[in-house]
Structure 1
Amino acid sequence: MPRPRSLTHTALATAALAVIDRDGLGALSMRAVATELGMATMSLYRYVTDRHQLEGLVVELVLAEVDITPPPGLPWQAQVTALVDRVRAAVGAHPEVVPLTMTHRHTSLSLHRWTEAVLTVLTAAGFTGRPRVLALRAVLAHTVGSLQMQHLGSLAGPGTAVMTALSPDDYPLLAETARTARPIPPDEEFHHGLAALLTGLAR
């Protein structure tokens, strides 16, 4: 008789997310999660096949509670912004998970549901066919790119100091832009870019 299961996928994902939040995505392994749970590594294979499946469970855990209901009575741009803000907040609370949202974008049911909600808003606004494809991909690219820049890229950690220390003799415009950019809050930068994008799409 097989042994009864004593762990849920939610419990596994919670333990994996704890490892990621504390030690970084590179530290995620079956062994690390087993240690987090206080169990033998091989016991995890009763519940998941490998790290890839574990990553997918983490993505679902992070995004499962995101509200995908477009706010009623608002222009389509405001509805898209609200949907994007919600997923950005959920992922931004766990910055190391950002790359996993791309790795598992084709298999995450939560991402599918959120994308369907965005497409519903775009369709109601008159986007169909190729324009709808391009609009969706532009919104996704801005959202994911901004998250990466804020948490994992040049806007995070020592990268900012490197950019602001560039020689104004060699890179006058880049050095000035980097210094100007430093005090701009990430939220302001994100929403300015999103607003410009949505305004362009509306044309």
Structure 2
Amino acid sequence: MTTTSERIADEIRARIRSGALAAGDLVPSTRRIVAEHGVAMATASRVLGALRRDGLVEVRRGVGTVVAAGANAGTSRPAGSPARRLPTGGDVVRAAMAVADTEGLGGLSMRRIATDLGIPTMSLYRHVRSRDELLTRMLDAVYAESPLPEPLPRHWRARAETCARTMWSAFQRHPWAAHVMSMTRPQVLPHGMAHTEALLAAFDAIPGRPLDLDTRMHLAVSVVQLARGVGVSIEPALLAQQDSGLTDEEWTDRALPDLRAVADPRRFPQISAATSTDIDLTLDSLFEFGLARLLDGYAVFLGDAPSAP
């Protein structure tokens, strides 16, 4: 007997094989499948998981699930062919990252990962003891694919900038990572230790300004916190864009008339002026401005010359 998820998957397979959905086209998202077919989210997840196992679709970060290049009727595994190999711990982490990259942490669950891998949910616990452990391994994988350049700059400021921008780039590739990172209960991240070590070392050889480890730790972690603090806004911004279909600039253009209407120049002269001026305020500009001003403060503290604004 054909299940509901198999029936929906067959419908989408037929559209792909007929060419109605071409390579690179978006396939129905889990939300759309739920809305159109009146099924549960778990059923919708099984549909996309089946299509991924067939090789007909692939997850594209920042876009969603699209038809894979070369998808055709022969992509599915023929009956009687050898079973797929069992997933490894690395497969589990990569599958979890793919879900988080496209749907955010809200779409991540052990059941969803198991569905995408085509295994029972309880099988995941052979590789990870809990969701928290999985998130930690995902974050360490982000660091693993974001190594610091070698050699690192010797001057403290150039090194701190390099470390911060490397982390910022990683958060842009994986918008959920900033939310996973904890500043008060640091996770055990073997690949992340290189980043912390580099920042601590940056403040360990300031001419004429020897610093104790407590001070250097505060200097290093404050740089990390700046990148993380701005980084936690990336995922909500992307999800809002996916839900509304509007970029931040388009949304702002629509909201400006209402904002101007309530920004009485007599009570809010600064805000009124700002809403009438073209200001390039983005997450990138906030990160770069904040990093420069933070390190300017460090320069004063360390007796070095700050940069020009």
Relative distance call for 1:177 and 1:134 in structure 2 (3 A) is farther
- For 2:263, the equivalent position in structure 1 comes to 168
Find 1:136's aligned residue among 217, 220, 225: 220
Q: Is the 8 A contact 2:104 2:235 kept in 1?
A: no
Q: Is the 8 A contact 1:34 1:44 kept in 2?
A: yes
The answer on 1:23 being equivalent to 2:103 is yes
Aligned-pair CA distance for 1:145: 1.0
Within a 5 Å distance, the mapping from 1:45-124 to structure 2 comes to 45-68=125-148, 71-72=151-152, 74-102=154-182, 105-124=186-205
Measured against aligned partners, the alpha-carbon deviations of 1:129-169 in whole angstroms (never above 9, x if no partner) come to 4432331232122111121234437xx75887398553221
Relative distance call for 1:150 and 1:26 in structure 2 (3 A) is closer
Q: Is the 8 A contact 1:63 1:111 kept in 2?
A: yes
Q: What secondary structure sits across from 1:88 in the alignment? A: helix
Aligned-pair CA distance for 1:123: 1.2
Q: Distance in 1 between matches of 2:281 and 2:224?
A: 22
Number of positions where the alignment pairs a residue of Structure 1 with one of Structure 2: 197
- For 2:92, the equivalent position in structure 1 comes to 12
Find 1:195's aligned residue among 292, 299, 303: 292
Aligned-pair CA distance for 1:115: 0.8
Relative distance call for 1:182 and 1:35 in structure 2 (3 A) is farther
Relative distance call for 1:116 and 1:147 in structure 2 (3 A) is same
Q: What secondary structure sits across from 1:109 in the alignment? A: coil
- For 1:44, the equivalent position in structure 2 comes to 124
Q: Distance in 1 between matches of 2:278 and 2:131?
A: 38
| Length-normalised TM-score, structure 1 | 0.81
Q: Is the 8 A contact 2:136 2:187 kept in 1?
A: no
Instruction: Report the more deviating stretch, 114-123 or 172-181.
Output: 172-181
Q: Distance in 2 between matches of 1:75 and 1:163?
A: 44
Q: Give 5+ residue unaligned stretches, structure 1.
A: none
| Length-normalised TM-score, structure 2 | 0.55
- For 2:13, the equivalent position in structure 1 comes to none
What residue identity is the alignment partner of 1:22?
T
Q: Distance in 2 between matches of 1:108 and 1:175?
A: 46
Measured against aligned partners, the alpha-carbon deviations of 1:11-48 in whole angstroms (never above 9, x if no partner) come to 11100011111222011111000011111111111111
Which protein, 1 or 2, shows the higher relative CO under an 8 Å CA cutoff with sep ≥ 6?
1
> Larger C-alpha radius of gyration, 1 or 2?
2
Find 1:146's aligned residue among 230, 235, 245: 230
Q: Distance in 1 between matches of 2:148 and 2:189?
A: 14
Q: Distance in 2 between matches of 1:14 and 1:72?
A: 29
- For 2:14, the equivalent position in structure 1 comes to none
What residue identity is the alignment partner of 1:173?
Q
Q: Is the 8 A contact 1:168 1:176 kept in 2?
A: no
Q: Distance in 2 between matches of 1:199 and 1:191?
A: 12
Relative distance call for 1:40 and 1:181 in structure 2 (3 A) is farther
Relative distance call for 1:139 and 1:18 in structure 2 (3 A) is same
Q: Is the 8 A contact 2:200 2:216 kept in 1?
A: yes
RMSD after superposition: 2.9
What residue identity is the alignment partner of 1:52?
D
Aligned-pair CA distance for 1:192: 2.1
Instruction: Report the more deviating stretch, 192-201 or 65-74.
Output: 65-74
Q: Is the 8 A contact 1:63 1:110 kept in 2?
A: yes
Aligned-pair CA distance for 1:49: 1.3
